[in-house]
Amino acid sequence: HFFQIFDAFKSRLHDSNSKVNQAALEAMHKMIPLLRDHLSPVINMLIPAMVDNNLNSKNPGIYAAATNVIQSLCQHLDNYLLLQPFCTKAQFLNGKAKQDVTEKLA
């Protein structure tokens, strides 16, 4: 059921309505400390959804929420879980999103 829940939640992270998108990011920020390593099965699905458009967003609320989520992931999950998805995203991102992900990798 974990995959079904986060598969549905993932689409909210890409929502065209900025308020829904920001609320989903803020909810994710709150969930990460609670779920911790239980997120490992879905992390490869969630990181692209959180990073792709949100770290390059011109909306300051969305950008701040996305950076908070990335910071929370780095703080609460084992680094080995994040290495592969961050490396993959760093290869294909541009702009400030690439810079932010590269800094987290370093």
pLDDT in tens, 16-26: 999 999 999 99
Per-residue pLDDT tens listing for the chain (106 residues)? 788 899 999 999 989 999 999 999 999 999 999 998 789 999 999 999 888 889 999 999 999 999 999 999 999 999 899 999 999 999 999 889 999 999 988 8
pLDDT of the residue at 57: 93
What is the distance between the alpha carbons of residues 3 and 48, in angstroms, rounded to a whole number? 15
pLDDT of the residue at 47: 92
Number of other CB atoms surrounding residue 78 within 10 Å: 10
- The phi-psi region of residue 95 (left if phi > 0; otherwise alpha if psi is between -120 and 50; otherwise beta) is left
Runs of H (alpha helix) within 36-93: 43-51, 60-76, 79-92
pLDDT of the residue at 86: 93
To the question of pTM greater than 0.85 for the whole model, the response is: yes
Q: Where exactly are the structural domains of the chain?
A: 1-103
